Structure formats: C-alpha cells, structure tokens
Amino acid sequence: MESILNYNRNVFSIADSSLVLTTDNIRFVNESIYSSETIEVNEQVVNEIFLSVIGQEQFQLGDDAINQLEGIAAQCPLAGGNAVFKARAILSLLNDELVLR
C-alpha cells in the first residue's frame, strides 16, 4: 500500500511540474508574436496574465494586471474581441460583485 501511495505522489509531482513547464512554453510563444491590432493585442495580454498567474495555480493578481484586465473588460466585444469576455471572466473570479456595463 505504501508503494502505491509513493507512486501516486510521484505521479502528481510530475504532473504539477509538467503544468509549469507547459505554461512557460506557451507564454514564450505568446510573447514572441508581434501584433498591433487591438483584438490581437488584447488576446495576448489576457493570455499572458492567465498563463503567468492562473495557469501556474497562483490566484493573486498585481495592480498592473488588474488594470489591464479592467481596461480590456470595459471594451465593446465587437472592437476588443473574445479577450473582452476572457478578461471579464477572470475578473469575476476575483470579485463576485464586479459589474461591467
């Protein structure tokens, strides 16, 4: 029984480290793409925040990240793209009382 428990601990440890490695690789690709279009820039910003914080199981956002998300979340989805909805979703995870108009 003890060997099975040790095996499970090792498997979960490897899975946790793989998650961090995967998000770091995705962040690198996300950062390497250049764009000047609002929709694409919004997507990159939201991806970076998601991957650097939530993707690595850290649920604390700094003031800069919150300000960036709020700026994107306040945009019209037609102009700002799907990242507007993603930013709103991340902010709602942090604050249940958040209302965007």
Query: For 32-79, how does the pLDDT look when each residue is reduced to its tens digit (9 = 90+)?
Result: 777 788 998 999 999 888 887 766 666 678 889 999 999 999 999 999
Computed over every residue of the chain, the mean pLDDT equals: 77
Cα(45)–Cα(33) distance, integer angstroms: 11
CA distance 20 to 23: 5
> What's the pLDDT score for residue 25?
66
Please write the tens of the pLDDT for every residue from 10-39: 555 655 555 555 666 677 666 777 778 899
Higher pLDDT: 73 or 98? It is 73
Question: Within 10 Å of residue 87's Cβ, how many Cβ atoms?
Answer: 25
